[in-house]
């Protein structure tokens, strides 16, 4: 009889493709905002990052709809992870032209975080890469024939329009540089306890 496997401290990345979000309208809003706002500097290198949109700040109806859709996914992930109810507390938009990238980071003061890809019109626009933080790279043989979810040092996702990723906010990640002539447009978000639930 095989031994029972108890999974402790798993690093979960949830993935879905959203079809009910008006990406074209949101893209237009992001580009208009970028044209009128210099943004902020955080982990986005050589690209543009908007100021944070807070939970109750005014925004276009298409963005409000997107946040409602994202919140249903956040709540589903919280239930799966046996977490209390969560909701998005802040989010920001990213425009990454050729050569821009995001440095290795995590999201403090949040439980789950996520990224939603609004416009990925080309290939090689910069994959997001999640890194394990348990120092397993010092113990797992580097000559394995193949790596699994148990032995891999990293998990890589190639962006496509409409893709949503939600992950624990402490999971370190970075985004490779955009090698396309076109801009990668995305939004990132953090969550907090939903005290209304």
Q: Which of 155, 173, 52 is CA-nearest to residue 107?
A: 173
**pTM of structure:** 0.94
Contact 126, 184 (CB under 8 A): yes
Residues 6+ apart with CB under 8 A from 189: 70, 88, 90, 91, 92, 113, 114, 115, 116
- The residue ranges of the chain whose pLDDT is under 50 are none
Contact 173, 105 (CB under 8 A): yes
**Cα–Cα distance between 74 and 67 in angstroms, integer?**
10
DSSP β-ladder status, 128-131 and 53-54: unpaired
DSSP β-ladder status, 48-49 and 163-168: unpaired
3-class DSSP state for residue 134?
coil
CATH 2.60.120.620 is held by the domain 14-193: yes
Q: How many CA atoms lie within 13 A of 171 on its CB side?
A: 24
**Cα–Cα distance between 12 and 24 in angstroms, integer?**
30
Q: Spell out the domain ranges in the chain.
A: 14-193
Contact 63, 29 (CB under 8 A): yes
pLDDT of residue 173: 97
**Cα–Cα distance between 121 and 159 in angstroms, integer?**
10
Contact 86, 192 (CB under 8 A): yes
pLDDT of residue 174: 96
Q: Which of 157, 155, 158, 166 is CA-nearest to residue 125?
A: 158
pLDDT of residue 159: 98
Q: Which of 197, 188, 171, 163 is CA-nearest to residue 83?
A: 197
Q: What are phi and psi of 72, to 5 degrees?
A: -65, -35
Query: Do you know the residue count of the chain?
Result: 197
């Amino acid at each position: 009889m095989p031994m029972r496997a108890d999974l402790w401290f798993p690093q979960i990345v949830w993935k879905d493709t959203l079809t009910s979000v008006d990406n074209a309208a949101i893209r237009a809003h992001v580009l208009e905002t970028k044209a009128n706002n210099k943004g902020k500097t955080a982990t986005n290198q050589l690209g543009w990052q908007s100021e944070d949109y807070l939970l109750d700040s005014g925004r276009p109806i298409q963005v409000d709809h997107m946040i409602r859709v994202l919140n249903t996914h956040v709540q589903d992930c919280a239930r799966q992870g046996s977490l209390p109810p969560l909701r998005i507390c802040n989010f920001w938009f990213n425009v990454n032209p050729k050569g821009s990238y995001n440095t290795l980071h995590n999201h403090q003061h949040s439980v789950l975080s996520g990224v939603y890809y609004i416009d990925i019109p080309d290939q090689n626009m910069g994959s997001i890469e999640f890194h394990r933080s348990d120092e397993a790279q010092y113990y797992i043989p580097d000559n394995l024939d193949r790596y699994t979810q148990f032995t891999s040092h990293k998990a890589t996702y190639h962006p496509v329009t409409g893709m949503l990723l939600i992950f624990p906010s402490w999971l370190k990640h970075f985004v490779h540089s955009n090698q396309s002539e076109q801009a990668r447009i995305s939004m990132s978000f953090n969550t907090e306890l939903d005290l209304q639930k």
